[in-house]
Structure 1
Amino acid sequence: MTATRRLAVCADDYGQGAAIDRGILALAARGRITALSCLVTPPRWPHAGPALHEVDVAAGLHFNLTEGEPLSAALRRHWPRFPGLGALIAQAHLGRLPAALADEFQVQLQRFVDVMGRGPAFIDGHQHVHALPGVRPVVLAAAQSLQLPVRNTGRVLGPGFAFKRRVIEACGGRALAGQLQARRLSTASALVGVYGFDPRADYRALVRGWLRDAPDGALLFCHPALGEPDPGDAIAAARANEMAYLASDAFAQDLDEFGVTLG
Protein backbone atom coordinates (compact mmCIF):
# COMPACT_ATOMS: atom_id res chain seq x y z
CA MET A 1 0.00 0.00 0.00
CA THR A 2 1.28 3.45 -0.88
CA ALA A 3 2.02 5.56 2.20
CA THR A 4 -0.57 8.31 2.49
CA ARG A 5 -0.51 9.43 6.14
CA ARG A 6 2.12 10.71 8.53
CA LEU A 7 2.20 9.73 12.19
CA ALA A 8 4.33 11.17 14.97
CA VAL A 9 5.23 8.66 17.71
CA CYS A 10 6.21 10.17 21.06
CA ALA A 11 7.63 8.14 23.96
CA ASP A 12 6.67 9.73 27.28
CA ASP A 13 8.41 9.82 30.68
CA TYR A 14 12.07 10.01 29.65
CA GLY A 15 14.04 10.71 32.83
CA GLN A 16 11.68 8.85 35.13
CA GLY A 17 13.78 5.68 35.46
CA ALA A 18 16.66 3.70 34.00
CA ALA A 19 14.50 1.09 32.25
CA ILE A 20 12.31 3.76 30.71
CA ASP A 21 15.33 5.70 29.48
CA ARG A 22 16.95 2.56 28.02
CA GLY A 23 13.81 1.66 26.13
CA ILE A 24 13.25 5.11 24.72
CA LEU A 25 16.87 5.50 23.63
CA ALA A 26 16.81 2.08 21.96
CA LEU A 27 13.66 2.94 19.99
CA ALA A 28 15.07 6.34 19.04
CA ALA A 29 18.26 4.74 17.74
CA ARG A 30 16.19 2.39 15.57
CA GLY A 31 14.01 5.16 14.17
CA ARG A 32 10.85 3.74 15.76
CA ILE A 33 9.86 6.99 17.49
CA THR A 34 9.96 10.56 16.24
CA ALA A 35 9.85 12.35 19.61
CA LEU A 36 10.30 11.85 23.33
CA SER A 37 8.96 13.81 26.25
CA CYS A 38 11.18 14.54 29.25
CA LEU A 39 10.32 14.50 32.95
CA VAL A 40 12.81 16.91 34.49
CA THR A 41 11.64 16.72 38.12
CA PRO A 42 13.27 13.34 39.00
CA PRO A 43 16.79 13.51 40.48
CA ARG A 44 18.16 11.41 37.60
CA TRP A 45 17.30 13.99 34.91
CA PRO A 46 20.71 15.78 34.92
CA HIS A 47 22.41 12.42 34.30
CA ALA A 48 19.84 11.11 31.80
CA GLY A 49 19.46 14.21 29.65
CA PRO A 50 22.91 14.32 27.98
CA ALA A 51 22.32 10.94 26.29
CA LEU A 52 19.68 12.62 24.14
CA HIS A 53 22.40 14.44 22.21
CA GLU A 54 23.22 11.09 20.60
CA VAL A 55 19.77 10.48 19.08
CA ASP A 56 17.98 12.32 16.29
CA VAL A 57 14.48 12.82 17.68
CA ALA A 58 12.62 15.85 19.00
CA ALA A 59 12.81 16.22 22.78
CA GLY A 60 9.99 18.04 24.58
CA LEU A 61 9.09 19.10 28.10
CA HIS A 62 6.71 16.72 29.91
CA PHE A 63 5.35 19.22 32.46
CA ASN A 64 4.81 17.34 35.73
CA LEU A 65 2.38 18.23 38.52
CA THR A 66 1.39 14.78 39.81
CA GLU A 67 4.47 12.72 40.75
CA GLY A 68 7.25 13.52 43.19
CA GLU A 69 8.08 16.98 44.50
CA PRO A 70 7.94 20.47 43.00
CA LEU A 71 11.21 22.04 41.92
CA SER A 72 10.25 25.63 42.71
CA ALA A 73 10.36 27.01 46.24
CA ALA A 74 7.16 28.94 45.53
CA LEU A 75 5.13 25.83 44.78
CA ARG A 76 6.74 23.77 47.56
CA ARG A 77 5.24 26.23 50.05
CA HIS A 78 1.81 25.09 48.84
CA TRP A 79 2.59 21.47 47.98
CA PRO A 80 5.57 19.75 49.64
CA ARG A 81 4.68 16.94 47.25
CA PHE A 82 2.56 17.05 44.11
CA PRO A 83 -1.04 15.94 44.56
CA GLY A 84 -2.25 12.84 42.76
CA LEU A 85 -3.98 13.23 39.42
CA GLY A 86 -7.50 13.00 40.86
CA ALA A 87 -6.85 15.71 43.43
CA LEU A 88 -5.20 17.93 40.82
CA ILE A 89 -8.16 17.62 38.46
CA ALA A 90 -10.58 18.45 41.28
CA GLN A 91 -8.61 21.52 42.37
CA ALA A 92 -8.26 22.68 38.78
CA HIS A 93 -11.98 22.56 38.08
CA LEU A 94 -12.76 24.25 41.40
CA GLY A 95 -10.35 27.07 40.55
CA ARG A 96 -8.12 26.30 43.52
CA LEU A 97 -4.75 25.78 41.88
CA PRO A 98 -1.97 27.97 43.31
CA ALA A 99 -0.61 30.83 41.25
CA ALA A 100 2.84 29.38 41.92
CA LEU A 101 2.21 26.90 39.08
CA ALA A 102 3.68 29.57 36.82
CA ASP A 103 6.89 29.56 38.87
CA GLU A 104 7.01 25.77 38.70
CA PHE A 105 6.64 25.75 34.94
CA GLN A 106 9.50 28.21 34.53
CA VAL A 107 11.77 26.20 36.82
CA GLN A 108 11.01 22.95 34.97
CA LEU A 109 11.60 24.70 31.65
CA GLN A 110 14.93 26.10 32.86
CA ARG A 111 15.99 22.69 34.19
CA PHE A 112 15.41 21.27 30.72
CA VAL A 113 17.52 24.05 29.17
CA ASP A 114 20.30 23.71 31.77
CA VAL A 115 20.79 20.03 30.95
CA MET A 116 20.11 20.06 27.21
CA GLY A 117 21.71 23.37 26.32
CA ARG A 118 18.62 24.29 24.31
CA GLY A 119 14.89 24.72 24.74
CA PRO A 120 12.35 21.95 24.25
CA ALA A 121 10.98 21.16 20.81
CA PHE A 122 7.41 21.04 22.17
CA ILE A 123 5.40 21.05 25.40
CA ASP A 124 3.00 18.48 26.80
CA GLY A 125 1.98 17.30 30.25
CA HIS A 126 2.54 14.22 32.36
CA GLN A 127 -0.90 12.57 32.55
CA HIS A 128 -2.12 15.37 30.25
CA VAL A 129 -2.06 18.01 33.02
CA HIS A 130 -1.10 20.74 30.54
CA ALA A 131 -4.74 21.01 29.39
CA LEU A 132 -6.31 21.51 32.84
CA PRO A 133 -7.96 24.81 33.83
CA GLY A 134 -5.40 26.90 35.67
CA VAL A 135 -2.52 25.02 34.04
CA ARG A 136 -3.53 25.64 30.44
CA PRO A 137 -2.93 29.44 30.49
CA VAL A 138 0.60 28.95 31.82
CA VAL A 139 1.45 26.44 29.09
CA LEU A 140 -0.18 28.46 26.33
CA ALA A 141 1.65 31.65 27.34
CA ALA A 142 4.99 29.86 27.23
CA ALA A 143 4.20 28.10 23.98
CA GLN A 144 3.20 31.36 22.32
CA SER A 145 6.26 33.18 23.61
CA LEU A 146 8.60 30.43 22.42
CA GLN A 147 6.48 29.42 19.37
CA LEU A 148 6.40 25.78 20.41
CA PRO A 149 3.91 23.06 19.48
CA VAL A 150 1.65 21.74 22.25
CA ARG A 151 0.12 18.26 22.47
CA ASN A 152 -3.51 18.19 21.34
CA THR A 153 -5.77 16.41 23.85
CA GLY A 154 -8.99 17.79 22.38
CA ARG A 155 -9.44 15.07 19.74
CA VAL A 156 -8.58 11.69 21.22
CA LEU A 157 -9.42 8.82 18.89
CA GLY A 158 -10.06 5.13 19.55
CA PRO A 159 -10.96 2.42 19.04
CA GLY A 160 -12.13 1.50 22.53
CA PHE A 161 -11.64 3.14 25.92
CA ALA A 162 -14.25 5.75 25.04
CA PHE A 163 -14.84 6.86 28.64
CA LYS A 164 -11.14 7.53 29.30
CA ARG A 165 -10.80 9.34 25.99
CA ARG A 166 -13.82 11.53 26.68
CA VAL A 167 -12.51 12.39 30.16
CA ILE A 168 -9.20 13.56 28.67
CA GLU A 169 -11.06 15.74 26.16
CA ALA A 170 -13.47 17.11 28.77
CA CYS A 171 -10.80 17.90 31.40
CA GLY A 172 -9.51 20.77 29.31
CA GLY A 173 -8.55 19.07 26.07
CA ARG A 174 -11.26 20.62 23.93
CA ALA A 175 -10.63 24.07 25.40
CA LEU A 176 -6.91 23.65 24.77
CA ALA A 177 -7.50 22.65 21.14
CA GLY A 178 -9.63 25.73 20.55
CA GLN A 179 -7.04 28.04 22.04
CA LEU A 180 -4.22 26.43 20.10
CA GLN A 181 -6.16 27.09 16.91
CA ALA A 182 -6.98 30.66 17.93
CA ARG A 183 -3.33 31.38 18.70
CA ARG A 184 -2.17 29.57 15.55
CA LEU A 185 0.11 27.30 17.53
CA SER A 186 1.19 24.04 15.95
CA THR A 187 -0.31 20.79 17.19
CA ALA A 188 -1.13 17.28 16.01
CA SER A 189 -4.40 16.65 14.19
CA ALA A 190 -5.44 14.06 16.79
CA LEU A 191 -4.10 11.96 19.65
CA VAL A 192 -4.08 8.16 19.75
CA GLY A 193 -2.62 5.75 22.29
CA VAL A 194 -5.16 5.74 25.12
CA TYR A 195 -5.80 2.41 26.82
CA GLY A 196 -5.89 1.05 30.36
CA PHE A 197 -2.25 -0.18 30.62
CA ASP A 198 -3.53 -3.71 31.26
CA PRO A 199 -0.47 -5.97 30.80
CA ARG A 200 -2.78 -8.62 29.32
CA ALA A 201 -3.84 -6.26 26.52
CA ASP A 202 -2.90 -7.14 22.95
CA TYR A 203 -0.87 -4.00 22.28
CA ARG A 204 -0.33 -4.85 18.63
CA ALA A 205 -4.09 -5.10 18.09
CA LEU A 206 -4.53 -1.72 19.79
CA VAL A 207 -1.89 -0.05 17.61
CA ARG A 208 -3.37 -1.57 14.46
CA GLY A 209 -6.68 0.03 15.38
CA TRP A 210 -5.01 3.38 15.93
CA LEU A 211 -3.11 3.09 12.66
CA ARG A 212 -6.34 2.31 10.84
CA ASP A 213 -8.20 5.33 12.24
CA ALA A 214 -5.49 7.99 12.72
CA PRO A 215 -5.75 10.96 10.36
CA ASP A 216 -2.72 12.45 8.67
CA GLY A 217 -0.59 14.33 11.20
CA ALA A 218 -1.83 12.47 14.28
CA LEU A 219 0.32 11.68 17.33
CA LEU A 220 0.67 8.27 18.97
CA PHE A 221 1.95 8.53 22.53
CA CYS A 222 3.56 5.50 24.15
CA HIS A 223 5.38 4.40 27.32
CA PRO A 224 8.16 1.88 26.52
CA ALA A 225 10.80 0.51 28.89
CA LEU A 226 13.57 -2.06 28.50
CA GLY A 227 15.14 -4.45 31.00
CA GLU A 228 14.77 -4.66 34.77
CA PRO A 229 11.66 -2.63 35.72
CA ASP A 230 12.15 0.63 37.55
CA PRO A 231 11.18 0.41 41.27
CA GLY A 232 7.64 1.54 41.93
CA ASP A 233 6.63 1.72 38.27
CA ALA A 234 2.92 0.87 38.35
CA ILE A 235 2.74 0.21 34.60
CA ALA A 236 6.04 -1.61 34.18
CA ALA A 237 4.49 -4.72 32.59
CA ALA A 238 2.56 -2.63 30.06
CA ARG A 239 5.74 -0.71 29.25
CA ALA A 240 7.55 -3.97 28.49
CA ASN A 241 4.75 -5.05 26.14
CA GLU A 242 4.85 -1.72 24.31
CA MET A 243 8.62 -1.94 23.98
CA ALA A 244 8.52 -5.44 22.54
CA TYR A 245 6.03 -4.48 19.85
CA LEU A 246 7.50 -1.11 18.90
CA ALA A 247 10.95 -2.67 18.49
CA SER A 248 9.62 -5.57 16.41
CA ASP A 249 9.34 -6.20 12.70
CA ALA A 250 5.58 -6.41 13.25
CA PHE A 251 5.39 -2.65 13.91
CA ALA A 252 7.17 -1.87 10.65
CA GLN A 253 4.89 -4.30 8.81
CA ASP A 254 1.78 -2.73 10.33
CA LEU A 255 2.89 0.78 9.37
CA ASP A 256 3.34 -0.39 5.80
CA GLU A 257 0.04 -2.27 5.70
CA PHE A 258 -1.94 0.79 6.81
CA GLY A 259 -0.05 3.23 4.60
CA VAL A 260 1.52 5.19 7.47
CA THR A 261 4.98 6.74 7.64
CA LEU A 262 6.64 8.13 10.74
CA GLY A 263 7.23 11.84 10.63
Structure 2
Amino acid sequence: MTRRIRLIADDYGLAPGVSAAILDLLDRGRLTGTSCMTGFPEWEAEAERIKPLCGRAAVGLHLTLTDQPAVTGRSSLAPEGRLPPLRALALPVLRGRIDERHVHAELDAQYSRFVEALGRRPDFVDGHQHVHFLPVVRTWLRARFPEGADRPALRGGPALAAGSKVAAIAALAAGFNRSMQRAGFIVFQPLAGIYDWRQPEKFTAVLQAAVEGLPEQGLFMCHPGHVDETLRARDTMQAVREVEFAALASDAFGASLARANVAIMDGRG
Protein backbone atom coordinates (compact mmCIF):
# COMPACT_ATOMS: atom_id res chain seq x y z
CA MET A 1 0.00 0.00 0.00
CA THR A 2 1.23 3.49 -0.83
CA ARG A 3 2.20 5.59 2.17
CA ARG A 4 1.41 9.30 1.89
CA ILE A 5 3.50 12.05 3.47
CA ARG A 6 3.35 15.83 3.55
CA LEU A 7 6.23 18.02 2.35
CA ILE A 8 5.76 21.65 3.31
CA ALA A 9 8.16 24.41 2.27
CA ASP A 10 8.50 27.28 4.72
CA ASP A 11 9.07 30.95 3.88
CA TYR A 12 7.05 31.62 0.72
CA GLY A 13 7.16 35.40 0.36
CA LEU A 14 10.51 35.86 2.11
CA ALA A 15 12.29 36.74 -1.15
CA PRO A 16 11.52 36.41 -4.87
CA GLY A 17 14.05 33.60 -5.33
CA VAL A 18 12.57 31.61 -2.47
CA SER A 19 9.03 32.01 -3.78
CA ALA A 20 10.05 31.09 -7.34
CA ALA A 21 11.78 27.91 -6.18
CA ILE A 22 8.74 26.87 -4.15
CA LEU A 23 6.37 27.48 -7.07
CA ASP A 24 8.66 25.38 -9.27
CA LEU A 25 8.58 22.47 -6.82
CA LEU A 26 4.82 22.73 -6.43
CA ASP A 27 4.49 22.56 -10.21
CA ARG A 28 6.67 19.44 -10.25
CA GLY A 29 4.51 17.77 -7.59
CA ARG A 30 7.40 17.64 -5.13
CA LEU A 31 5.62 19.59 -2.37
CA THR A 32 2.28 19.34 -0.61
CA GLY A 33 2.25 23.06 -0.04
CA THR A 34 3.94 26.05 1.50
CA SER A 35 3.55 28.44 4.41
CA CYS A 36 3.56 32.15 3.62
CA MET A 37 5.27 35.13 5.23
CA THR A 38 2.92 38.05 4.66
CA GLY A 39 4.86 40.95 6.16
CA PHE A 40 7.02 41.99 3.21
CA PRO A 41 6.21 44.59 0.54
CA GLU A 42 6.15 41.93 -2.21
CA TRP A 43 3.46 39.87 -0.48
CA GLU A 44 0.53 40.98 -2.63
CA ALA A 45 2.40 40.17 -5.85
CA GLU A 46 3.54 36.80 -4.49
CA ALA A 47 -0.03 36.06 -3.38
CA GLU A 48 -1.24 36.58 -6.94
CA ARG A 49 1.31 34.05 -8.17
CA ILE A 50 0.28 31.34 -5.74
CA LYS A 51 -3.47 32.02 -5.78
CA PRO A 52 -4.13 29.73 -8.79
CA LEU A 53 -2.65 26.82 -6.82
CA CYS A 54 -4.92 27.23 -3.80
CA GLY A 55 -6.92 24.06 -3.36
CA ARG A 56 -4.50 21.88 -5.29
CA ALA A 57 -1.67 22.91 -2.97
CA ALA A 58 -1.92 23.52 0.76
CA VAL A 59 -1.26 27.22 1.33
CA GLY A 60 -0.66 28.19 4.94
CA LEU A 61 0.36 31.11 7.12
CA HIS A 62 3.92 31.23 8.50
CA LEU A 63 3.54 33.33 11.65
CA THR A 64 6.61 35.53 12.06
CA LEU A 65 7.61 37.11 15.37
CA THR A 66 11.39 37.21 14.99
CA ASP A 67 14.13 38.95 13.03
CA GLN A 68 11.98 40.75 10.44
CA PRO A 69 10.12 44.08 10.20
CA ALA A 70 6.90 44.19 12.22
CA VAL A 71 3.73 44.70 10.20
CA THR A 72 2.33 46.74 13.09
CA GLY A 73 5.40 48.96 13.44
CA ARG A 74 6.76 50.02 16.82
CA SER A 75 5.42 48.45 20.00
CA SER A 76 6.72 46.65 23.08
CA LEU A 77 7.22 43.68 20.74
CA ALA A 78 9.26 45.70 18.25
CA PRO A 79 10.51 48.92 19.91
CA GLU A 80 12.37 49.99 16.76
CA GLY A 81 9.88 48.44 14.36
CA ARG A 82 11.85 45.21 13.99
CA LEU A 83 10.84 41.91 15.57
CA PRO A 84 13.29 40.55 18.16
CA PRO A 85 15.47 37.45 17.92
CA LEU A 86 13.85 34.33 19.37
CA ARG A 87 15.97 34.42 22.53
CA ALA A 88 14.60 37.91 23.28
CA LEU A 89 10.96 36.94 22.75
CA ALA A 90 9.79 34.05 24.92
CA LEU A 91 10.91 35.07 28.41
CA PRO A 92 10.10 38.79 28.04
CA VAL A 93 6.52 37.87 27.09
CA LEU A 94 6.21 35.58 30.10
CA ARG A 95 7.61 38.28 32.40
CA GLY A 96 5.38 41.01 31.01
CA ARG A 97 8.09 43.09 29.37
CA ILE A 98 6.42 42.47 26.02
CA ASP A 99 2.68 43.14 26.06
CA GLU A 100 0.75 40.07 24.93
CA ARG A 101 -1.72 42.38 23.20
CA HIS A 102 1.05 43.67 20.94
CA VAL A 103 2.01 40.11 19.99
CA HIS A 104 -1.60 39.30 19.17
CA ALA A 105 -1.96 42.52 17.15
CA GLU A 106 1.05 41.55 15.04
CA LEU A 107 -0.36 38.08 14.43
CA ASP A 108 -3.76 39.57 13.57
CA ALA A 109 -2.12 41.87 11.03
CA GLN A 110 -0.25 39.02 9.35
CA TYR A 111 -3.39 36.91 9.24
CA SER A 112 -5.42 39.79 7.78
CA ARG A 113 -2.85 40.32 5.03
CA PHE A 114 -3.11 36.64 4.11
CA VAL A 115 -6.91 36.71 3.92
CA GLU A 116 -7.07 40.03 2.09
CA ALA A 117 -4.60 38.91 -0.58
CA LEU A 118 -5.87 35.37 -1.13
CA GLY A 119 -9.55 35.76 -0.27
CA ARG A 120 -9.53 32.70 1.98
CA ARG A 121 -8.27 31.52 5.33
CA PRO A 122 -5.00 29.57 5.45
CA ASP A 123 -5.16 25.80 5.08
CA PHE A 124 -2.77 25.50 8.00
CA VAL A 125 -0.71 27.62 10.37
CA ASP A 126 2.89 27.18 11.48
CA GLY A 127 5.61 29.51 12.69
CA HIS A 128 8.94 30.96 11.67
CA GLN A 129 11.47 29.49 14.11
CA HIS A 130 8.53 27.49 15.51
CA VAL A 131 7.03 30.50 17.31
CA HIS A 132 3.54 28.99 17.02
CA PHE A 133 4.52 26.70 19.90
CA LEU A 134 4.92 29.64 22.30
CA PRO A 135 2.14 29.97 24.92
CA VAL A 136 1.27 33.49 23.76
CA VAL A 137 0.68 32.18 20.23
CA ARG A 138 -1.31 29.16 21.44
CA THR A 139 -3.62 31.64 23.17
CA TRP A 140 -3.96 33.64 19.96
CA LEU A 141 -4.76 30.53 17.91
CA ARG A 142 -7.61 29.57 20.23
CA ALA A 143 -9.02 33.10 20.20
CA ARG A 144 -8.63 33.70 16.47
CA PHE A 145 -10.16 30.34 15.53
CA PRO A 146 -12.84 29.61 18.14
CA GLU A 147 -14.53 26.25 18.49
CA GLY A 148 -17.01 25.64 15.72
CA ALA A 149 -15.24 27.99 13.31
CA ASP A 150 -13.66 26.92 10.03
CA ARG A 151 -10.23 26.23 11.45
CA PRO A 152 -6.87 25.75 9.77
CA ALA A 153 -4.74 22.75 10.66
CA LEU A 154 -1.62 23.31 12.75
CA ARG A 155 1.91 22.04 12.37
CA GLY A 156 2.72 19.85 15.34
CA GLY A 157 5.92 19.10 17.17
CA PRO A 158 8.57 16.49 16.41
CA ALA A 159 8.72 13.00 17.79
CA LEU A 160 11.49 12.57 20.33
CA ALA A 161 14.73 11.64 18.61
CA ALA A 162 18.45 12.03 19.01
CA GLY A 163 19.95 15.47 18.51
CA SER A 164 20.01 18.65 20.53
CA LYS A 165 18.08 20.69 17.96
CA VAL A 166 15.22 18.20 17.84
CA ALA A 167 15.18 18.10 21.64
CA ALA A 168 15.06 21.90 21.88
CA ILE A 169 12.13 22.14 19.47
CA ALA A 170 10.35 19.27 21.21
CA ALA A 171 10.74 21.12 24.51
CA LEU A 172 9.30 24.30 22.99
CA ALA A 173 6.40 22.25 21.62
CA ALA A 174 5.72 20.37 24.87
CA GLY A 175 1.99 19.79 25.26
CA PHE A 176 1.16 21.55 21.99
CA ASN A 177 -0.13 18.60 19.99
CA ARG A 178 -2.39 17.24 22.71
CA SER A 179 -3.73 20.59 23.93
CA MET A 180 -4.52 21.89 20.46
CA GLN A 181 -6.19 18.62 19.49
CA ARG A 182 -8.31 18.85 22.63
CA ALA A 183 -9.23 22.37 21.52
CA GLY A 184 -10.51 20.91 18.25
CA PHE A 185 -7.64 21.58 15.84
CA ILE A 186 -6.24 19.09 13.36
CA VAL A 187 -2.51 18.78 14.06
CA PHE A 188 -0.10 17.59 11.36
CA GLN A 189 2.39 15.28 13.06
CA PRO A 190 5.00 14.07 13.62
CA LEU A 191 7.30 16.81 12.34
CA ALA A 192 10.48 15.82 10.50
CA GLY A 193 13.12 17.73 8.55
CA ILE A 194 14.99 19.19 11.52
CA TYR A 195 18.76 19.37 11.09
CA ASP A 196 21.61 21.85 11.40
CA TRP A 197 21.19 23.86 8.19
CA ARG A 198 24.75 25.13 8.60
CA GLN A 199 25.70 21.64 7.41
CA PRO A 200 23.80 21.46 4.12
CA GLU A 201 25.42 18.17 3.17
CA LYS A 202 23.16 16.51 5.76
CA PHE A 203 19.91 17.41 4.02
CA THR A 204 19.80 14.51 1.56
CA ALA A 205 20.17 11.96 4.36
CA VAL A 206 17.49 13.71 6.45
CA LEU A 207 15.15 13.70 3.46
CA GLN A 208 15.81 10.03 2.74
CA ALA A 209 15.19 9.12 6.38
CA ALA A 210 11.81 10.84 6.16
CA VAL A 211 10.91 8.99 2.97
CA GLU A 212 11.77 5.70 4.64
CA GLY A 213 10.44 6.36 8.12
CA LEU A 214 7.68 8.98 8.28
CA PRO A 215 4.30 7.45 9.09
CA GLU A 216 1.18 7.98 7.00
CA GLN A 217 0.48 11.73 6.70
CA GLY A 218 3.63 12.65 8.60
CA LEU A 219 5.07 16.09 7.88
CA PHE A 220 8.49 17.01 6.51
CA MET A 221 9.37 20.70 6.59
CA CYS A 222 11.93 22.15 4.21
CA HIS A 223 13.39 25.48 3.09
CA PRO A 224 14.14 25.39 -0.65
CA GLY A 225 14.99 28.54 -2.51
CA HIS A 226 17.18 30.42 -4.95
CA VAL A 227 19.56 32.94 -3.45
CA ASP A 228 19.03 36.54 -4.56
CA GLU A 229 19.92 39.96 -3.22
CA THR A 230 16.66 40.23 -1.31
CA LEU A 231 17.31 36.97 0.51
CA ARG A 232 20.87 38.04 1.32
CA ALA A 233 19.52 41.20 2.92
CA ARG A 234 16.82 39.45 4.94
CA ASP A 235 18.00 36.06 6.12
CA THR A 236 21.18 34.21 7.04
CA MET A 237 19.86 30.88 5.73
CA GLN A 238 21.02 31.14 2.13
CA ALA A 239 23.18 28.60 0.26
CA VAL A 240 21.49 25.64 1.94
CA ARG A 241 18.23 26.64 0.25
CA GLU A 242 19.80 25.90 -3.14
CA VAL A 243 20.94 22.50 -1.83
CA GLU A 244 17.43 21.67 -0.63
CA PHE A 245 15.88 22.79 -3.91
CA ALA A 246 18.27 20.66 -5.95
CA ALA A 247 17.60 17.59 -3.82
CA LEU A 248 13.83 17.97 -3.94
CA ALA A 249 13.82 18.59 -7.70
CA SER A 250 16.15 15.70 -8.47
CA ASP A 251 15.40 12.48 -10.31
CA ALA A 252 17.09 10.69 -7.40
CA PHE A 253 14.41 11.94 -5.01
CA GLY A 254 11.68 10.80 -7.36
CA ALA A 255 13.30 7.38 -7.56
CA SER A 256 13.58 7.13 -3.77
CA LEU A 257 9.86 7.87 -3.43
CA ALA A 258 9.07 5.14 -5.93
CA ARG A 259 11.31 2.58 -4.22
CA ALA A 260 9.69 3.27 -0.85
CA ASN A 261 6.18 3.29 -2.38
CA VAL A 262 5.63 6.77 -0.97
CA ALA A 263 3.46 9.52 -2.45
CA ILE A 264 3.58 13.24 -1.67
CA MET A 265 0.15 14.42 -0.61
CA ASP A 266 -1.42 17.38 -2.36
CA GLY A 267 -3.42 20.14 -0.72
CA ARG A 268 -6.65 18.21 -0.88
CA GLY A 269 -5.43 15.79 1.77
TM-score by length of 1: 0.90
* Aligned pairs for 1:49-60 within 5 A: 49-55=47-53, 56-60=56-60
Distance of 1:214 and 1:193 partners within structure 2:
10
Task: Tell me if the contact between 2:131 and 2:137 (Cα under 8 Å) persists in the aligned partners.
Answer: yes
Of the candidates 105, 108, 112, which is equivalent to residue 106 of structure 1?
108
Q: Show the counterpart of 1:198.
A: 198
Post-superposition Cα deviations, 1:226-258, rounded to whole Å, max 9, x if no partner, equal 364632331211100000010011111111222
Distance of 2:97 and 2:190 partners within structure 1:
30
* Aligned pairs for 1:160-199 within 5 A: 162-171=163-172, 173-199=173-199
Distance of 1:193 and 1:156 partners within structure 2:
11
- Does the residue aligned with 2:242 lie in a helix, a strand or coil? helix
Is 1:17 matched with 2:21? no
CA-CA distance at 1:191 after TM superposition: 0.2
Is 1:86 matched with 2:80? no
CA-CA distance at 1:92 after TM superposition: 4.2
Post-superposition Cα deviations, 1:77-115, rounded to whole Å, max 9, x if no partner, equal 221211001111332454544222222221111101111
Query: What letter is aligned with 1:89?
Result: A
Distance of 2:159 and 2:85 partners within structure 1:
22
Post-superposition Cα deviations, 1:17-66, rounded to whole Å, max 9, x if no partner, equal 01101100000111110110000011111111100023331111101100
- Number of equivalent positions: 255
TM-score by length of 2: 0.88
The percent of aligned pairs where both chains have the same amino acid is 32
Q: Show the counterpart of 1:141.
A: 143
Query: What letter is aligned with 1:141?
Result: A
Task: Tell me if the contact between 1:95 and 1:134 (Cα under 8 Å) persists in the aligned partners.
Answer: no
Query: What letter is aligned with 2:247?
Result: Y
- Does the residue aligned with 1:250 lie in a helix, a strand or coil? helix
Q: Show the counterpart of 2:35.
A: 37
- Does the residue aligned with 2:207 lie in a helix, a strand or coil? helix
Unaligned runs of 5+ in 2: none
Query: What letter is aligned with 1:152?
Result: G
Task: Tell me if the contact between 1:11 and 1:35 (Cα under 8 Å) persists in the aligned partners.
Answer: yes
Q: Show the counterpart of 2:64.
A: 64
Runs of 4+ in 1 over 6 A off after TM superposition: none
Q: Show the counterpart of 1:220.
A: 220
Distance of 1:93 and 1:127 partners within structure 2:
18
Unaligned runs of 5+ in 1: none
Change (3 A) 1:47 1:94: same
Moved more, 127-136 or 140-149: 140-149
Task: Tell me if the contact between 2:22 and 2:225 (Cα under 8 Å) persists in the aligned partners.
Answer: yes
Distance of 1:89 and 1:77 partners within structure 2:
16
Q: Show the counterpart of 1:209.
A: 209
Change (3 A) 1:220 1:52: same
